[in-house]
Chains A and B, each alone.
Chain A
Amino acid sequence: MAVELRGITKRFGSFAAVKGVNLQIRAGKVLGLLGENGAGKSTLMNVLCGLYAQTEGEILIDGKPVRFNGPGEAIRAGIGMVHQHFMLIPVFTVAENVVLGVEPTGRFDHLDLDQARAQVREINDSYGLEVDPDALIETLPVGVQQRVEIIKVLFRSADLVIFDEPTAVLTPQEVVEFFEIVRSLRDSGKAIVFITHKLGEIREISDHIAVLRRGEIVGHADHPDAVSEADLAEMMVGRPVSFDVEKNPHKPGAPLLEVADLTVLNENDDIAVDDVSMIVRSGEIVGIAGVQGNGQSALVEALTGLTRVAGGTVLFKGRDITRASARDRHRMGFAHIPEDRQRTGLIPAFTIAENMVLDSYYDDRFSRGPTMLWRVVNQAAAQAVQDFDVRAGSIFDAVSTLSGGNQQKVIVARELSRDTEFLIASQPTRGLDVGSIEYIHSRIAQARDEGDGVLIVSSELDEILALSDRILVMFKGKIVAEFDGATADKSEVGLAMAGRYEGAAA
């Protein structure tokens, strides 16, 4: 199946999210659609899969113009989309989720699950997906859930499969497996559209790359190998982008945070952090690498005073803070950029100003007696918005109206605009565009140059390698390896993340 978009424009009110886009999507080829958050990638694909009607332009399938009234018609035309946020029912099995809405039924509306299972197996076998049709969705890891979404699309006989930021939720190993699946789909003749803002991935998987910026196609690349990541980044952002984080040479100071034999249990009383010892000095960035779910979240919660410690001690500047509350630590100069900005880092319905003081409202600067000094808060928030380049119209806008990158900048501004001594940043750039990542990395490096101790937890190995002075690898709740940030080898760290590092732990 060949799909052609001709002069597609989509306006919301006076705002054009997509402007005159021409695209060719061919069978047996992977089209990589690259663009920053807000560039119009998802809007464009939502037009293609029938969720939005285009304001101008036409869609041609095999040369014939088509117009979809709703996603149902697009699906019948053979266009399927795997959304970034999965649409699965957790308490249903794989087979039940796959047939949802198009259930094979026998007499008297009897649900023929046997047939559903057989069809799931058939799709499994043809593309090497290896999903148990009888497994409950809630018991499956994210990577397998994604395969269920793929099976759903294939079950509805899609010839064009659109993946919207598919690797955002995957671990490095899962990404490798996912690319295998994409290749087998392509080789069987499906047309694939791969939406992403990750430069390395798009070069690896695409046969053809189109770059979208502010709703317009600003560049093409027919031979992904022939363009460099820097060229792609420049096309995407509209200016040269630096991948290296500028920072002063590593000059560690006195030990700031000393963790000894720390053990933390999760809510099921299983060991999440197992006897971890480490030191973070002032003026250095320690990166904790690891595949998600190896105890990093529990470690961060324990170090920030959000969860109880089962054993071991935490010293801060020589003082025992093992049982200090989150507020106490905040007073001591802890800054925390939490892993989940929507759920724990921000209150989306609150204004930017309110979010700017979410954890420092108690401070004498912002309150007197029982009352808040909103005038002072607003001034400080406006200053922080300006200093940290948050793109917002007003500090009284709700944070939910900002893009992900700007939301993260609000958190970074809140945490770093006061006098800090120790910064814990968990997945600080997850899901952000290149421009925002560059900016947030520079701010973290700046905090370290000013003498803060910094602990970065990230499942993005590139991020750890770019920022860290020292790298610790966490696997199954333990620190299994330590590397020097300047000399660490990516594949060795990757092996350690998988629990297979044989070298001597430094």
Chain B
Amino acid sequence: MNDEPKPAEGLSEAFLKRAAPDRAAMEDLIVVPFFAVVVALLLGALAMLATNVDLATVGRSYVALLVGSVGSFNAISETLTAAIPLTLAGLGIALGFRAGMFNIGAEGQLLIGGMAAVIAGFSFAGLPAVVHVPLVLLVGAMAGGLYAAIAGWLRAATGAHEVITTIMLNLISYRLVDYMLRLDFIQREGRSDPISKSVLGSAELPRILTWLDPNLRLHAGVFLMIAAVIFIHWLLFRTRLGFEFRASGESPDAARYAGMRAGLIIVLAMGMAGALSGLAGANQVSGVLGRASPGFSAGIGFDAIAVALLGRSHPWGVLLAGLLFGALEAGGRQMQVDAGVSIDLISIIQALIIVFIAAPLLVRRLFPWGFRKPAPVAKE
């Protein structure tokens, strides 16, 4: 009975074979999001028809959506520019999901991070750009991270649920930004409305496509976005910390029994999620806006939740989702100009996509083709 462990050379290689992802997994990953987008666009068209937009205009607006998102260098530049903060903050949300934290606070973390980045951006005159830009980004990330860590600490120390605390921290951040924008050392000289000084030229993320056309807004933040995707992928799937994050997210009890420190993991996961949102904020003020004004976050932190959901909390999925949402935003602006359809329609379409993503069964029922019939699962 008590057989000795077999020698290593007898190790069967079969155990090390990785099965190809089964069809159900592929359907969930690709077919469902694809159908979700198609149905959302169809329902968006129906919404337009129902509000007395004629069919020709509906057609024109979807052509404008396509042209405005990928139809020209400028369109692609705008799409990517919009995708950067969505992807960065979306990565933060996704990281939180993986660690079992439902972080609703990206918006507030983005505001606090952006605000800190603005201050760092208009201070330190005379720094070279190679130092100043990273400094601004770092300050933004740290501020966002610390702000989110408050919610993490509250959860770890008291059990206060992060959904509640992050929503409250969002509200605090709105008013905190309004208040700070009127402080003497932040408010722009000679202005009575709440608006900050502009960041110095040395703190601006350089535009990278001006050699093509001086009007293209795409900036170096796009590299930051790619780097962040790669980094988060490495962190989640290649590191000890990522293993701890994923274990705690899947089963806090099993993680605790395995000797992982739940409180520390919660605080770290929230901190890193907040740092990514803060980075998104710093990216906005340093690469696009150049200053801070009330509500400069523009709902990116909330759209990022949708991006993380659509991307299935997988870094590369988040990138694709961020690009899609960036395209919808850039194309939506074109749509408004060309067809006179309100950009609010884009919000409706985005919301519909999420409804269908969140309800894969609904999509399967609506489009029985493209899916294999679910085989009954043997129980026992």
- A442 contacts B2, CB within 8 Å? yes
Which candidate, A135-143, A198-206, A263-271, A342-350, is the interface stretch facing chain B? A342-350
Cα(A494)–Cα(B83), bound, Å: 68
Given contacts A13-B375, A442-B2, contact A383 B18 (CB under 8 A): no
- B259 contacts A325, CB within 8 Å? yes
- B1 contacts A371, CB within 8 Å? no
- A12 contacts B376, CB within 8 Å? yes
B19 at the interface (CB under 8 A from A): yes
Which candidate, B45-53, B213-221, B246-254, B304-312, is the interface stretch facing chain A? B246-254
Nearest CB in chain A: distance from B232 CB, A: 14
- A359 contacts B257, CB within 8 Å? yes
Q: Which of A242, A346, A370 has the most CB of B within 10 A?
A: A370
Given contacts A43-B378, A359-B258, contact A382 B239 (CB under 8 A): no
Nearest CB in chain A: distance from B249 CB, A: 10
Residues of A within 8 A of B365 (CB): none
Interface string of A35-54 (1 = CB under 8 A from B): 00111111100100000100
B residues 1-27 near A (Cβ < 8 Å) are: 1-2, 5-6, 8, 10-12, 14-19
Closest to A352 in B: B15
Residues of A within 8 A of B379 (CB): 42-43, 46
Nearest CB in chain A: distance from B131 CB, A: 26
Select B15's contact among A304, A349, A382, beta carbons within 8 Å. Answer: A382
Residues of A within 8 A of B6 (CB): 386-387
Which candidate, A87-95, A216-224, A394-402, is the interface stretch facing chain B? A394-402
- B254 contacts A397, CB within 8 Å? no
Cα(A387)–Cα(B2), bound, Å: 11
B241 at the interface (CB under 8 A from A): yes
Residues of A within 8 A of B375 (CB): 12-13
Residues of A within 8 A of B1 (CB): 242, 246, 442
- B380 contacts A37, CB within 8 Å? yes
Cα(A46)–Cα(B241), bound, Å: 44
Closest to A329 in B: B259
Select A396's contact among B8, B18, B241, B376, beta carbons within 8 Å. Answer: B18
Nearest CB in chain B: distance from A133 CB, A: 32
Select B378's contact among A15, A348, A445, beta carbons within 8 Å. Answer: A15
Nearest CB in chain A: distance from B241 CB, A: 6
B296 at the interface (CB under 8 A from A): no
- Report the contact-size class of chain B (Cβ under 8 Å from the partner): 35 or more
B298 at the interface (CB under 8 A from A): no
- A372 contacts B259, CB within 8 Å? no
Select B380's contact among A40, A327, A330, A392, beta carbons within 8 Å. Answer: A40
Select B377's contact among A12, A327, A386, beta carbons within 8 Å. Answer: A12
- B253 contacts A343, CB within 8 Å? yes
B34 at the interface (CB under 8 A from A): no
Cα(A59)–Cα(B11), bound, Å: 48
Q: Which of B10, B14, B15 has the most CB of A within 10 A?
A: B15
Residues of A within 8 A of B255 (CB): 347
Residues of A within 8 A of B16 (CB): 378-379, 382, 394-395
Interface string of B249-272 (1 = CB under 8 A from A): 011011111111100000000000
Cα(A396)–Cα(B241), bound, Å: 20
Interface string of A353-380 (1 = CB under 8 A from B): 0100011011000010011101000110
Residues of B within 8 A of A336 (CB): 257
Residues of B within 8 A of A326 (CB): 256-259
Q: Which of B5, B17, B259, B378 has the most CB of A within 10 A?
A: B259
Residues of B within 8 A of A12 (CB): 375-378
Residues of B within 8 A of A503 (CB): none
Cα(A17)–Cα(B376), bound, Å: 12
A-B interface contact total, Cβ < 8 Å: 126
- B5 contacts A387, CB within 8 Å? yes
- A359 contacts B259, CB within 8 Å? yes
B191 at the interface (CB under 8 A from A): no
- B17 contacts A38, CB within 8 Å? no
Residues of B within 8 A of A446 (CB): 2
A159 at the interface (CB under 8 A from B): no
A1 at the interface (CB under 8 A from B): no
Nearest CB in chain A: distance from B373 CB, A: 11
- B243 contacts A372, CB within 8 Å? yes
- B239 contacts A372, CB within 8 Å? yes
- A246 contacts B2, CB within 8 Å? yes
- B259 contacts A347, CB within 8 Å? no
Select A344's contact among B18, B19, B254, beta carbons within 8 Å. Answer: B254
Nearest CB in chain B: distance from A369 CB, A: 9
B residues 355-380 near A (Cβ < 8 Å) are: 375-380
Given contacts A354-B243, A359-B259, A378-B16, contact A349 B250 (CB under 8 A): yes
- B15 contacts A347, CB within 8 Å? no
A338 at the interface (CB under 8 A from B): yes
Cα(A143)–Cα(B270), bound, Å: 43
- A371 contacts B15, CB within 8 Å? no
A437 at the interface (CB under 8 A from B): no
Cα(A350)–Cα(B250), bound, Å: 8
- A350 contacts B247, CB within 8 Å? yes
Cα(A382)–Cα(B380), bound, Å: 25
Nearest CB in chain A: distance from B140 CB, A: 24
Cα(A325)–Cα(B250), bound, Å: 22
Q: Top 8 closest A-B pairs, CB basis?
A: A327-B259, A359-B258, A382-B15, A326-B259, A344-B257, A442-B1, A12-B378, A358-B258
Q: A370-B239, A379-B16 provided; 16 other pairs, C-beta below 8 A? A: A13-B375, A304-B257, A327-B259, A330-B259, A343-B254, A344-B254, A358-B247, A361-B240, A371-B239, A372-B243, A379-B11, A383-B5, A386-B6, A394-B17, A397-B19, A442-B2
Q: Which residues does A use to contact B, with CB under 8 Å?
A: 12-13, 15, 17, 37-43, 46, 52, 242, 246, 304-306, 325-327, 330, 336, 338, 343-350, 354, 358-359, 361-362, 367, 370-372, 374, 378-379, 381-383, 385-387, 392-397, 442, 445-446, 449
